[in-house]
Homo-oligomer: A and B are copies of this chain.
Amino acid sequence: MKSYRKELWFQTPTRRQLVNITPQVAQCLAESGITEGLLLCNAMHITASVFINDDEPGLHNDFEKWLEKLAPEKPYNQYRHNGYEDNADAHLKRSVMGREVIVAVSGGKLDFGPWEQIFYGEFDGKRRKRVLVKIIGE
């Protein structure tokens, strides 16, 4: 069994942002030399997500509006977590969108359907944060 590990670093200019990280993850897979196995990609921070969806700007706008409806950023004092922090909403938004994805590796490729793309979902940005890529297989 082979295994591979890499950290990807991100610093978004805004509090919330969706970043298509499919090229970086595919690069990790190429570096690993693994052709059959499973790839884990997870946010290492608890106010960010890794998820799979469509790379379509209209939809990303819909996600922003929808997540703000489900778990609004403000007023900050609606959340008990917001004493020294102001990011309780980011913990909740990340819970909706998920921490991680597992992608099948088949024939040396990310084994994806027609529109699947991997996103880093930042909900409390403007600072350096990490995503972990771990691959096991042969």
Contacts and interface: CB of A to CB of B under 8 A. Distances in A.
A31 interface: no
8 contacts: A52-B99, A53-B95, A58-B81, A63-B92, A66-B71, A98-B99, A102-B102, A136-B137
B5 A106 contact: yes
A116 B46 contact: yes
For chain A, give the interface size range: 35 or more
Given A40-B38, A54-B46, A80 B59 contact: yes
Secondary structure call for the A interface: mixed
Contact of A40 (B3, B51, B58, B104): B104
Contacts of A58: 79-83, 88
A68 interface: no
Contacts of A52: 46, 99
Nearest to A36: B3
Given A45-B113, A104-B132, A114-B45, A62 B79 contact: yes
A96 B99 CA distance: 12
A5 B108 CA distance: 13
Contact of A136 (B38, B44, B51, B134): B38
B113 A40 contact: no
